[in-house]
Amino acid sequence: MNKTELLLEEFLPYKLSYLTNLISDDLSKLYTDQFGIAHTEWRVMAVLGVSSGVSAGHVAKKTAMNKVAVSRAINNMIKNDLIERQFSSEDKRRSELMLSTKGQDVYNNIVPLILEYENNILSILDEKERASLANILKKLTGYIKE
């Protein structure tokens, strides 16, 4: 093979993106159909479910989503009474986001579904393969974040 030739199906970023898109699309059926939550909204909800009172910037960083997508998701979720926004007592320019009661209920209903989904996917791997996958993902993520 010529070193300047690109075989897309063998290109690591493509393979990771392709798999991520397949999983995300399949997974979103669990919460979109039943709860009306879009993929970007679920990501915001997942962060707020474990880190209440954080900024939109924190959500963007934690999800690796761009700030415009995060902002749209947040505004839609506020409109649908899934999250609440308060302004920081220390810095009135900084808003803090948290799940509303309705948002927390939706989150609590979705989490078992997605954890079961994850278990189903991982069930095709043995314990050694799972550990290797976790290690590989950690290494690749660390390399990119450096």
pTM to 2 decimal places: 0.86
In whole angstroms, what is the distance from residue 77 CA to residue 71 CA? 10
Q: Which CATH number do you get for residue 140? A: 1.10.10.10
- Domain tally, the chain: 1
With beta carbons less than 8 A apart as the criterion, state whether 97 and 55 touch. Answer: yes
In whole angstroms, what is the distance from residue 74 CA to residue 80 CA? 10
With beta carbons less than 8 A apart as the criterion, state whether 45 and 82 touch. Answer: yes
Give tens-digit pLDDT for 59-111.
999 999 999 999 999 999 999 999 999 987 777 777 899 999 999 999 999 99
Task: Give 84's contacts (C-beta < 8 A, 6+ positions apart).
Answer: 78, 97, 98, 99, 100
Asked if residue 71 is part of any domain, the answer here is yes
List the domain range (segments joined by +) for residue 105.
24-145
Asked if residue 82 is part of any domain, the answer here is yes
Tell which residue, 98, 7, 8, has the closest CA to residue 53.
Answer: 98
Give tens-digit pLDDT for 6-50.
999 999 999 999 999 999 999 999 999 999 999 999 999 999 999
